[in-house]
Structure 1
Amino acid sequence: MIVPPAGSPAPAPESRHPQTIGGVIYLCLLGAVAVGIALVAVGSWRSGVSCIGATLVVAAGGRLVLNDHAAGMLRVRRHRWFDVVVPLASGVAMIVLAATIPDQI
């Protein structure tokens, strides 16, 4: 631990908020996934899985329209196409499966 010399001003506290619009979007999407998981936990699994799928589709759209710097935490890989295609395909698959799986009797 580095101790500042006596009489020197205290260091500024670290920023604890997102630095980019992509970080803000990421936190909102994280909240939406939490809502989807809560819906699944209370028994409305179709709504919950659809919510999570829609969240992935929105994440893909956000990564598509934001540049590399503004994407923040939405930027996972070096190539934008990968960051768009994988969550888009996963989200669409989740929505389609939630809509087409028949009810169990």
Structure 2
Amino acid sequence: MTEEEPEPLPAEPPVEEDGRRYPSTIGGAFYLVVLAVVAVSVGIVTTGSWRLGVRWFGGALVFAALVRAVLPAKDAGMLAVRRRWWDCFLLAGTGIALILLAGSIPDQPL
């Protein structure tokens, strides 16, 4: 009985480490700005000034709509989810609705 050597395993392709920690598009950078403003607005809401916080949130969405309208799809990053007109319509519509809602609700007595 002869001992057969086991077949060598195929060499695994080298794994490339993607050490990049920054957005790959300008739209990704704007997306991070929008997220930061939304985080600030949530902080404002939790401190008690809900109208101002909701206005900041709406403003961030309107800003995102403007950026999405200006940037081409390849540069829009995570702001590009659907077609450009649809993204802009939803972002701007929601942002404007929040701003108008914050201004139209009357003050309630304590």
**TM-score using structure 1 length:** 0.87
SS at match of 2:75: helix
Q: Which residue of 2 aligns with 1:16?
A: 21
Identity %: 46
Deviations 1:69-101 (A, max 9, x none): 010111011x11111000100000000010111
Q: Which residue of 1 aligns with 2:105?
A: 101
Query: Aligned-residue CA RMSD in angstroms?
Result: 1.8
Q: Which residue of 2 aligns with 1:60?
A: 65
* Structure of higher CA gyration radius: 2
Aligned counterparts of 2:18 and 2:85: Cα–Cα separation in 1: 37
Tell me the CA shift for residue 4 of structure 1.
Answer: 6.7
Aligned counterparts of 2:50 and 2:44: Cα–Cα separation in 1: 6
2:90 counterpart of 1:92? no
**TM-score using structure 2 length:** 0.83
Q: Which runs of 5+ in 1 are unaligned?
A: none
Aligned counterparts of 1:24 and 1:96: Cα–Cα separation in 2: 28
Q: Which runs of 5+ in 2 are unaligned?
A: 1-10
Aligned counterparts of 1:11 and 1:68: Cα–Cα separation in 2: 27
Aligned counterparts of 2:53 and 2:36: Cα–Cα separation in 1: 13
Aligned counterparts of 2:75 and 2:33: Cα–Cα separation in 1: 15
Kindly report structure 1 stretches of 4+ aligned residues shifted beyond 6 Å.
none
Tell me the CA shift for residue 13 of structure 1.
Answer: 3.9
Q: Which residue of 2 aligns with 1:43?
A: 48
- Of 73, 79, 100, the residue aligned with 1:74 is 79
